[in-house]
Chains A and B, each alone.
Chain A
Amino acid sequence: MSQEATVAVSPGTEKKRQVKKPRGEPLLERFSALILAAFILLVWQVSVPLSGISEFVLPTPWAIASRIVTDFPLLISNAYVTLFEVLAGFGSAAVIGVPTALAIFYWRPVERAVYPLLIALQTIPKVALAPILVLYLGYGWAPKITLAFLIAFFPIVVATVVGLQSLDKGLVNLVRSMGASEWQTFTKIRLPAALPNIFGGFKVAISLSVIGAVIGEYVAAEQGLGYLQLLANSQFDTTLNFATVVMISGLGVMLYFILTFVEKKVTFHRESAK
């Protein structure tokens, strides 16, 4: 019986064994990325006056930051335009992309017909379509949203299909042995198991959507951050130009973090567990 006693599990000891992620990381390590960024900005800030480069050619980070503050209304009103285009493009890519992936996964004929076509289309650099889109869709929202959509669609579809396919066959047999319908198999195991992949696709897609919208604005626009940047360029306003770049990156980063937040809410992270 002594052997059994050693093998038997008691929850008390097991609980103690659960190691939490170490919280007390050294400060230097936790903020290492921030510290490095601050250091680079500092070098930039100091070396511009030292090297004698004109502020018109290369503004200092400080000058860019103060420009963002003084011209904030201008920047933010254009950022709203770009944000709208990105959200509309990304949103429609998600709304159409996920069901397309489901169709590819569930119906062989769709897979046969659509998947090769999608991959072929993916080899076209989407940004090269921008002038053509302007030709057909004019100078308004439409070409930007379309470009953001086109560039975001493929990664969402592929990530979702891969996520759906990666499910362990054993799990399908498990729920079938419990009498699960096809719909239940989808909602109880396939979708939850695919969510991390789907969000992976969303995250790639949202950054690409920003690129799509801005490129659309470069080609032809009367508002938006891409338009503002071209305007600054034509007026040799390098500081505003840089300020716009900061806003575009900020937009991308913000959207990425919103997605990460939503992902944390709806999925359970495997890596946090394994």
Chain B
Amino acid sequence: MSVPAAGTWMSDGVQTAEIAASSADPKGAAVRLQDVSKIYQSRQGEDIVALERISLDIAPGSFVCCVGPSGCGKSTLLSLLAGLIAPTTGRTVIDGAEVKSAHPKVGVVFQSDLLLYWRTVLDNILLPVEIKKLRRADYEKHALELLEQVGLAGFEEKYPSELSGGMRQRVAICRALIQEPGLLLMDEPFGALDALTREQMIHDVQRMWMRVGNTVLFITHDIDEAVFLADRLLVMSPRPGRIDLDLTIDMPRPRQQSDIHENPNFARYVRQVREIFEAKGILKA
């Protein structure tokens, strides 16, 4: 398998042996949701059931995508796992420990890059290290390696405003990866990017994941993107959010965008998801 040239996660290439090694010794965290519901209060005092009794087990090292219509509770699910909000009922458990506040093994990438404009690229990537009061010097080398892997070598002293949208989101991903999180949460990370940059980023995320071997929960609106990336695809229903379909995506990796559409399985998976949305009236046939 040939590997794309400069500017991608894996300029040195992924060897199949490496992939096998990472799945044999999973660095990913195990995630478990038990009967999790989340009910918000609206300003008028009504209950908004964002998630309704969700139970879910995510195997260490798997790439899980979650698609669903706007407002179905995807970000809520992610916030629960990030420890930003508490469930109304049920438990969220990461590697055997119940999530009560921010979990040290979790890294998050949000829809907007959320870089601090007064900090350099390097200082942005090292923000989690500072906040956890770890020694900066221990992570600087890793930060530079991460930058190199995303094709941003030499950009460490730049300020975010000197970068394009795609480059900024790459920096945000480096920041989420600096502590080698067992669970990487991504909430529509490429929603704000143009189609070309987005395609490249999707490709790069696959590479990153194949190398690091962590567990990923990737939220998106885009069915093609979800099928391309996922080992397992969760399709959520409109509010109250439930998991309507839990699909195992069986296609060899690394997947290539150039020929994915010729893969009959790809088309079949995409159709399966669309049919659900059509049946729910989210997509009009």
Q: Which residues on A are within 8 Å of B, measured CB to CB?
A: 1, 3-11, 14-15, 18, 168, 170-171, 173-180, 184, 188-189, 192-193, 267-268, 270, 273-274
Contacts of B161 in A (CB 8 A): 270, 273-274
A174 to B131, CA, bound (A): 11
Interface size on B, residues (CB 8 A): 44
Beyond A1-B2, A176-B102, A268-B117, is A170–B110 a contact (Cβ under 8 Å)?
yes
Partner of B114, one of A6, A11, A170: A170
Q: In the complex, are the beta carbons of B151 and A10 less than 8 A apart?
A: yes
Beyond A18-B162, A273-B161, is A9–B131 a contact (Cβ under 8 Å)?
no
A184 to B127, CA, bound (A): 11
> Quick check: is B116 within 8 A (CB to CB) of the other chain?
yes
Q: In the complex, are the beta carbons of A189 and B131 less than 8 A apart?
A: no
Among the stretches B39-47, B196-204, B215-223, the one at the interface with A is B196-204
A175 to B130, CA, bound (A): 11
Instruction: Select from chain B the residue with minimum beta-carbon distance to A6.
Output: B196
Contacts of A177 in B (CB 8 A): 82-84, 102, 106, 108
Q: In the complex, are the beta carbons of A9 and B5 less than 8 A apart?
A: no
- How far, in Å, is A169 (CB) from chain B's closest CB? 10
Q: Which residues on B are within 8 Å of A, measured CB to CB?
A: 2, 4-8, 79, 82-84, 101-102, 104, 106, 108, 110, 112, 114, 116-118, 127-128, 130-132, 151-155, 159-162, 164, 166-167, 196-197, 199-200, 203, 258
Beyond contacts A3-B258, A8-B4: 15 other A-B pairs, Cβ-Cβ < 8 A, are A4-B5, A5-B6, A6-B196, A8-B200, A9-B166, A170-B112, A173-B82, A177-B82, A177-B83, A178-B102, A178-B127, A179-B132, A180-B102, A184-B131, A268-B117
Q: In the complex, are the beta carbons of A175 and B110 less than 8 A apart?
A: no
Classify the interface of chain B: helix, strand, loop or mixed. loop
A11 to B160, CA, bound (A): 14
Q: Which 10 A-B pairs have the closest CB atoms?
A: A8-B7, A273-B161, A268-B118, A179-B102, A7-B200, A11-B154, A4-B4, A178-B128, A177-B82, A177-B108
Contacts of A9 in B (CB 8 A): 7, 151-152, 164, 166-167
Q: In the complex, are the beta carbons of B151 and A8 less than 8 A apart?
A: yes
- How far, in Å, is A206 (CB) from chain B's closest CB? 23
Beyond A4-B8, A179-B102, A273-B161, is A11–B110 a contact (Cβ under 8 Å)?
no
A1 to B108, CA, bound (A): 30
Could you show 30 A-B contacts with beta carbons less than 8 Å apart?
A3-B196, A4-B7, A4-B200, A6-B196, A7-B7, A7-B196, A8-B5, A8-B151, A9-B164, A9-B166, A10-B6, A10-B151, A11-B152, A11-B155, A168-B114, A173-B79, A173-B110, A178-B127, A178-B128, A178-B131, A179-B101, A179-B131, A179-B132, A188-B127, A188-B130, A193-B116, A193-B118, A267-B118, A270-B117, A273-B161
A171 to B172, CA, bound (A): 12
